[in-house]
Amino acid sequence: MSTTSQASSKAGRLQDRVAIVTGSSSGMGRAIALALAREGARIVCADLKEEAAQHGFEEDKHIPTHTVITNNGGTSVFKKCDMGKPEEIYELIDFAVSTYSKLDILINNAGLWLPLRDFAVETDDMWDRIMGINGKGTAISMRQAIKQFLTQPVDPVSGCRGRIVNISSSAGIVAVAREATYGASKAAVSMLTRNAALDHAKDYININAVCPGVVRTALSSTNFQDPAIIKEMKKGTPWPRLGEPKDIANVVVFLCTDEAGWITGQNIAVDGGFTVGIPL
pTM comes to 0.93
pLDDT of residue 223: 64
**Higher-confidence residue: 237 or 5?**
237
Which pLDDT tens digit goes with each residue over 46-91?
999 999 887 767 889 899 999 999 999 999 999 999 999 999 999 9
The rounded mean pLDDT for the chain is 93
Indicate which residues carry an active-site annotation. 182
pLDDT of residue 141: 98
> How far is residue 78 from each of residues 54, 64, 158, 208, measured CA to CA in Å?
18, 9, 26, 24
Residue 208, strand partner residues: 165
Strands of the 205-212 sheet, one edge to the other = 76-80, 42-47, 18-22, 105-108, 162-167, 205-212, 267-270
pLDDT of residue 10: 53
Q: Does the pLDDT at position 4 exceed 60?
A: no
DSSP 186: H
Q: Can you tell me the distance from the alpha carbon of 260 to that of 246, in angstroms, rounded to the nearest whole number?
A: 19
Mean pLDDT of 174-198: 96
Element (H, E) at 180: helix 180-200
Domain ranges for the chain: 13-268
The fold of the 13-268 domain, in CATH, is: Rossmann fold (3.40.50)
Q: Can you tell me the distance from the alpha carbon of 128 to that of 176, in angstroms, rounded to the nearest whole number?
A: 20
Q: Using H for helix, E for strand and C for coil, what is the string for 236-248?
A: CCCCCCCECHHHH
| Phi and psi at residue 115, to the nearest 5° | -50, 150
